[in-house]
Amino acid sequence: MFIGRERELKTLSERYQSGGFEFLTFYGRRRVGKTALIKEFIKDKKAIFFTAAETGKNHNLQLLSSAVFEVASDIESVVSFSSFEDVFDMIYQLAKKEKLVFVIDEYPYLAQSYKPISSLLQQSIDHKFKETDMFLILCGSSMSFMENLVLGYKSPLYGRRTGQLKIEPFNFENSAKFHKKFSKEEKAIVYGITGGIPWYLEAIDDSRTLKDNIIRNFFTPDTMLFEEPSNLLKQELREPQTYNDIIMAIAAGSSKISEIVTKANIENFDSSKCNKYLKSLLSLGIVKKEQPVFVAAGRKSIYRLKDGMFRFWYKFVPQNLSKIQLGLGRQVYSRIESQIPGFMGEVFEDICIEWLWRESIKDGLPVQFRDCGRWWGNNPIQKQETEIDILAFEDYKLPAIFCECKWKNEKTDVSVLDDLIDKSAIFSFPEKYYIIFSKSGFTKKLEARASERVMLVKFKDM
């Protein structure tokens, strides 16, 4: 069953129906569902779908030839075309007869196996494909390759594409659709430990308990998700051990470059080198660079793990590796079970931000805003560092919303609201509204404080 991606499918359908030549690039990190989206789009269309292999030129030429012969049943089949020029010419002849989608999946593999391919494709686009209604799609998981060597100005293909789609992980709303048998709270935890990556979501079996799924996927050697971080780093990056050390440092709480350099403890490693490695992790969607909302760009930036599966894995697997290798996954789960609510704190903040945007679109909030997110900085009143889970605002001259998010098993008390009001005093917005989000509901004292300016939102009602 195909889930989600309604907006992307609508965009593709509109472009397909508009007529004329289209050239779109798809890119995004591995496992995010690019190929599944393309296959869903072309399922009722005449299409040549070719997946390049991490092999040599001749083998890829043979694979492309086979993909063409599957569609072109009226031409005499041979083992392979003699050149990419010949196969592109045949695709051109087919596209002149009828509307055709031509997909090259894992395009970076093809480009690495045969360097002139981008130039040959550019020539075919300029002199042949543009004359047809062909819908050309290049897809790749290598983020840096797709952004620089396909989308970048130095690429022969630069200026030819008519659009691009960066495929992102699912949000909580769509992730929850994968597991109908789980409770809403369990779906949130699944979202947290998978980061909304479809391939990881599919590894979770809702006919089993959530506990069994975590043990089976994370605390059992040789399973898919247990091996995934190591495999992904090896596939995407040189020096995977260095990247692993950097991720370990961030997972342990280091957020500034200077802290990461010290914690990673890599020989001859400095801030400039660390910055280069971080850029690669940013492009892969494993790490995110964050700064407080309402603060000028570039100031107070920190680094955090963006990928939920990586955050969960690096928080709980390395410290329990010996027990996992001995087959003591259930014992490991018993040890970490009480820490899962703490892990879910950041996940719940993301879910709350998603809810705020959705409510804003429906005009269901007292304040419209252009940005929302975490804020942290110095509190001159209390003379200490302060954090606000979510600050949503339009402009400093307009009203703003201050939010606190509590993923705890006990009800949220009035002290949380009082603390949030105190922290909001350092801002001079003309009007301030407050939203308290809670997994387990609210005490009667806090419910008595609910008003036009104080909204209490239970997770089950979101």
Domains belonging to the chain, first-starting first, are 6-166 (3.40.50.300), 173-343 (1.10.10.10), 365-461 (3.40.1350.10)
pLDDT digits (tens, 9 = 90+) for 235-268: 888 899 999 999 999 999 999 999 999 999 898 8
The pLDDT of residue 30: 87
Question: How confident is the model over 41-45, as a mean pLDDT?
Answer: 96
The pLDDT of residue 123: 96
- Within 8 A by CB and 6+ apart from 315, the residues are 251, 339, 343
Question: How confident is the model over 7-33, as a mean pLDDT?
Answer: 93
Give the CA diameter of the chain. Answer: 81
Per-residue pLDDT at 72 exceeds 90:
no
Q: Please provide the average confidence, as pLDDT, over all residues in the chain.
A: 93
Per-residue pLDDT at 425 exceeds 80:
yes
Per-residue pLDDT at 414 exceeds 70:
yes
- Within 8 A by CB and 6+ apart from 312, the residues are 192, 193, 218, 343
Q: What is the CA radius of gyration of the chain?
A: 25
Residue 21 and residue 134 in contact, taking contact as beta carbons nearer than 8 Å: yes
73 pLDDT band, cuts 50/70/90, is confident
The pLDDT of residue 152: 76
289 pLDDT band, cuts 50/70/90, is very high
| Joined tokens for residue 303 | 């680094």
The pLDDT of residue 79: 62
C-alpha span between 247 and 120 (Å, rounded) = 39
Residue 210 and residue 190 in contact, taking contact as beta carbons nearer than 8 Å: yes
